[in-house]
Structure 1
Amino acid sequence: MSLWTAEEAAAATGGRAQGDWIASGVSIDTRTIQRGDLFVALTDLRDGHDFVAQALDKGAAAALVSRIPEGVPASAPLLIVPDVLKALEALGRAGRKRMGGKVIAITGSVGKTSTKEMARVALAGQGRIHAAEASYNNHWGVPLTLARMPRHSDFAIIEIGMNHPGEIAPLSRLSRPHVALITTVAAAHLEAFESIDGIAREKGAIFEGLEPIGTAIIPEDLPVTRILRDCADESGALVVGFGTNGMAKLVQSKIENARLKCRARISGETVDFTLNTTGTHFALNAVGVLAALAAAGADVKEAGKRLSDWQPPKGRGAVEELGAIRLIDDAFNANPASLSAGLATLAGLEGGRRVAILGDMLELGPDEIALHRAIADDPSMASVDLIHLAGPRMRHLYDLLPTARRGAWSETAAELAAQATDLVQPGDIVLVKGSKSSKISTVVDALRKSAQTPST
């Protein structure tokens, strides 16, 4: 498959192509590069130019560079540009321009990647679909996704994230979505923002890139919904609210055999769907997805049927049988909203003792201690039988817990992982949740290892 010819890539980037090559893909990583890829020598933690020779040896069609790297022949197949990142953005812009299908962009404080995957799965069978890989949602992930997009795609699903103010709007303008979905707005990256209102305005900036007469899909049930609606109105978008209220509404959800059976009304149409999870927050996000797909012209009833094929991504709430326990692996990341959702998932599962193993939530700003303390008052905590905690911030929650439900506390997740087998017992339902940098996933690894170790 031809994705970029040397001539097309040079025209898109304004660069100088050496050789008459054809690229079938675009890669930034020599560890996963495929034969025929255009290798993009980005400079991040390491300079990608140091890996150009390796990429070409592995069969890369060419390399996008700002200079001829040492050890690479002057006649090597290259695309030489002044700035590699700007050239990648230009390549992404050209990839978007030549695509005639519908583009759906997704952002939110919680659930971007899982919601993107829901949309991808739900669209199966309705055309050629291109979706962001993993969590490629930043200043290089979005243009890379667009640069990889086959020219004849019918639908593209773009994930857009942020850590600081001013990041979302440029990525949305690059993507030019027909539909933009915000999953939710919550206390995440508060170190970079003064308030939740500031986060809401940044999330609402996704509507600035909408195509004319585009559609904004916004959560209806938030304190900041008004801000999101104002952002959408300023962009001239059609607005569809979703949640337990709105034009896209979750009418019913009930747990059956560790799955959610749901019914929604999407712009007046009844849609039934089943999710392989018990987390109600996933059901609400699914309603947002269905609203977005309907706005993009997809068959919403068919999309609802396909949602049963979706599985929560690793580390984002998947429920699995792990030896004698049932594990909810939600260790990829955490903020107050996603932790509350994880606790609700734990509370919704029937069976044995419910155990929560929680690590610090990071990047919450000056109110981080109060936000950790507030977990004690979460409605789902009453259903949790035992709570183990790791990290200095979680110590503040530990001190508030009733003695009967207070488990172990450790300064680090590694210390907690070392005693993993003592934290649970056969029959337990176990939630593991925390920010990625808290390394609470080491507890998940330890539990998995113990489940695979034969007893003596």
Structure 2
Amino acid sequence: MTRALWTSADLAEATGGAVSRVFAATGVSIDTRTLAPGDLFVALVGEGRDGHAFVADALAKGAAGAMVHGQGPDGAPLLTVDDTLAGLGRLGGFARERFGNASPANRLIAVTGSVGKTTTKEMLRTALSAFGATHAAVASYNNHWGLPLTLARTPLDARFCVAEIGMNHPGEIAPLARLAQPHAAVITTIAAAHIGHLGSIEAIADEKAGIVQGLVPGGVAVLPLDSPLFPRLAAAAAAHAVLTFGADTAADMRLLALEGDAEGSHLRLSLRGRDAVLRLHAPGRHMAMNALAALAGVAALGLDPVRAVPALEAFRPVAGRGMRRALTVRGAPVLLLDESYNGNGASMRAALDVLRLQPAARRIAVLGDMLELGEAGPAEHAALADSVAASADLVFTCGPLMRHLFDALPEALRGAHEPDSTQLASLIAQVVDGGDAVLVKGSLGSRMKRVVDAILAAAAPAAAYAAGPADGKTD
């Protein structure tokens, strides 16, 4: 029998809510599409959707109970609170305290950054599993409801928890970090993502540095020494111990050499003066730096990073974040590089570098708008032209911003431009042919997963498929 994660008494204590009848939940869900029997269903109210309309459906699918702030079905097991989003936040805070009280050895590590935070989070999940039971955020659950949900789902026997913290606007990271109370906080890198909301790269650095405000006493900040903004990050973390990573000779966790190929990289590392070699099954220098950040996070928790290296060799990129899909289209092999979850200048160039490594009859780039760039948007898109030309044989774009890139490309590279991903998806499904390597990338709001789905639908039925992350998370 599965052990209860939450009793109704715990839920009432954690949230300050009232329970209609006794029940016990083995998990927590906010979505009836992915709800598992035994979950507590939290009826969140969001833009254009009220979770209270799905309470009956959740219970019919086996939910143990539902957290509501409105009416629910008569006689149903309900936890009634003042506001379900606030209630979920309190539940996450209670779970974090419970996790810390369960054992003095339990550790939580939080990750943020303009690029690479989800991948680094997944690398940490893999690496820390070598030391004990590890819980981590699902997909990119990193915002005002994603982080509390991650905490609320922490298993009672977990020794490590890996939390991801993201933002779209100023002032969002520090409150989430204070909720998470990490023992170590990792900043992967600083780039121009969300610059339309933040205004400058310096403001982005300051916002990301807000993660250190949540560090527990004795906590460690893990910072990218190669970043031009490192001095700014270090100043923000001055009250804490700092562990650095990068290729710089002064880095605590240092990349000594990288030999890359189409499927990954051989890395030679110096981990606090101890040599290590890692075969990373994820191509690109950016992936190597994510791995180094993860190993630095392991060290920041007081664990042996050299011991984590063999475990990290099991890592594979996740859907929407660089997953490689070997398909068969019209009887011939096709490689799909699924980068459909997010897009900014830094991650676009990194993904194009990976495309360039692939042996293929044609290297095809399918690119959607990079969003939240403000007035810099048109110029940022046009500035990708050299990187695209160096990596792709044929380019397809969609969205008003990507039109600036399309127009800046040589005529020979231009496949087609469409207004949106729906129209582009049907075209790409017809264009892709045997021997192609296809990169699909764009911001979440560009809905480039539609293109991925169209290519998968055109592939042989035996092609492996891994569902991408749900919409509605912070890039």
Partner SS state of residue 383, structure 2: helix
Residues 72 and 425 of structure 1, relative CA distance in 2, 3 Å threshold = same
**How far is 1:453 from its partner?**
8.2
> Is 1:214 the counterpart of 2:219 in the alignment?
yes
Partner of 2:62: 59
Q: 1:311-326, aligned counterparts within 5 Å?
A: 311-323=316-328, 324-326=333-335
Which string of whole-angstrom CA distances, capped at 9 and with x for unpartnered residues, describes residues 395-431 of structure 1? 2222222233333223333333333256444323222
CA-CA distance at 1:218 after TM superposition: 1.3
Measured in 2, the distance between the counterparts of 1:411 and 1:32 equals: 31
CA distance in 2, matches of 1:266, 1:317: 26
Secondary structure of residue in 2 paired with 1:79: strand
**Alpha-carbon deviation of 1:366?**
0.4
Q: 1:444 to 1:26 in 2, by over 3 A?
A: closer
Relative distance call for 1:241 and 1:37 in structure 2 (3 A) is same
Q: Distance in 2 between matches of 1:448 and 1:201?
A: 40
2:424 is the counterpart of 1:416: yes
TM-score (norm 1): 0.92
Q: Aligned pair 1:405/2:413, yes or no?
A: yes
Work out the CA distance in 1 between the residues paired with 2:40 and 2:412.
59
- Which residue identity does 1:19 align to in structure 2? R
The reply on whether 1:334 has 2:343 as its aligned counterpart is yes
Alpha-carbon offset, residue 165 of structure 1: 0.8
Letter in 2 for 1:194: G
Matched, 1:39 2:49: no
Count of aligned residue pairs for this structure pair: 448
After TM superposition, the structure 1 stretch with the greater mean CA deviation from structure 2, 85-94 or 157-166, is 85-94
Compared with structure 1, are the counterparts of its residues 162 and 421 closer, same or farther at alpha carbon in structure 2 (3 Å cutoff)?
Answer: closer
- TM-score normalized by the length of structure 2: 0.89
The yes-or-no answer on 1:184 pairing with 2:189 is yes
Q: Is the 8 A contact 2:224 2:244 kept in 1?
A: yes
Residue 148 of structure 1: aligned partner: 153
Matched, 1:225 2:230: yes
**Alpha-carbon spacing, 1:447–1:62, altered in 2? closer, same or farther (3 Å):** closer
| Deviations, residues 282-312 of structure 1 (Å, cap 9, x unaligned) | 1100000000011113332232111121111
Query: Does structure 1 conserve the Cα–Cα contact (< 8 Å) formed by 2:262 and 2:283?
Result: no
What code does the residue aligned with 1:130 have?
Answer: H
Match of 1:285 among 290, 299, 320: 290
Aligned amino acid, residue 340 of structure 2 = A
The letter for the 1-side match of 2:404 is H
| Structure 1 residue aligned with 2:367 | 358
Q: Which shifted more, 389-398 or 210-219?
A: 389-398
Distance in 2 between the 1:41 and 1:421 partners? 38
The code of the aligned residue for 2:28 comes to V
Is the 1:108–1:185 Cα contact (8 Å) retained in structure 2?
Answer: yes
Letter in 2 for 1:362: L
Identity %: 48
Q: 1:212/1:385 Cα in 2 relative to 1: closer, same or farther (>3 Å)?
A: same
CA distance in structure 2 between the aligned counterparts of 1:19 and 1:410, rounded to whole angstroms: 54
Q: Say whether the 8 Å CA contact 1:388–1:423 is kept in structure 2.
A: no
Contact 2:261 2:357 in 1 (8 A): no
1:321, CA displacement in angstroms?
A: 2.2
Q: What SS class does the counterpart of residue 89 from structure 1 fall into?
A: helix
Cα 1:417/1:3, change in 2 over 3 Å: closer
Q: Does 1:271 align with 2:279?
A: no
Root-mean-square deviation (Å)? 2.0
Q: Check 1:448–1:206 CA distance in 2 against 1; reply closer, same or farther (3 A cut).
A: same
The whole-number CA distance in structure 1 between the counterparts of 2:65 and 2:253 is: 46
What amino acid does structure 2 have at the position aligned with 1:364?
Answer: L
- Partner AA of 1:451 in structure 2: A
- What's the CA shift for 1:31? 2.4
Confirm or deny: 8 A CA contact 1:242 1:248 kept in the other structure: yes
Distance 1:34 1:402 in 2: 51
Unaligned ranges ≥5, structure 1: none
- Structure 2 equivalent of residue 6 of structure 1: 8
Letter in 2 for 1:330: E
Residue 271 and residue 451 in structure 1: after superposition, are their counterparts in 2 closer, same or farther (change >3 A)? Answer: same
Preserved contact between residue 53 and residue 72 of structure 1 (Cα < 8 Å): no
Q: CA deviation at 1:392?
A: 2.3
State whether structure 2 residue 26 is matched by structure 1 residue 24: yes
Task: Please say if residues 216 and 239 of structure 1, whose CA atoms lie closer than 8 Å, have aligned partners that are also in contact.
Answer: yes
Cα distance between partner residues in 1 of 2:173 and 2:223: 16
Alignment of 1:48-447 (within 5 A): 48-69=51-72, 71-73=73-75, 76-100=76-100, 101-233=106-238, 236-245=239-248, 246-256=251-261, 258-323=263-328, 324-378=333-387, 381-420=389-428, 423-447=431-455
Verify the 8 A CA contact 1:30 1:54 in the aligned structure 2.
yes
> 51-60 or 92-101, which moves further after superposition?
51-60
Structure 1 residues 383, 61: CA separation in 2 closer, same or farther (over 3 Å shift)?
A: closer
- Matched to 2:61, the amino acid is K
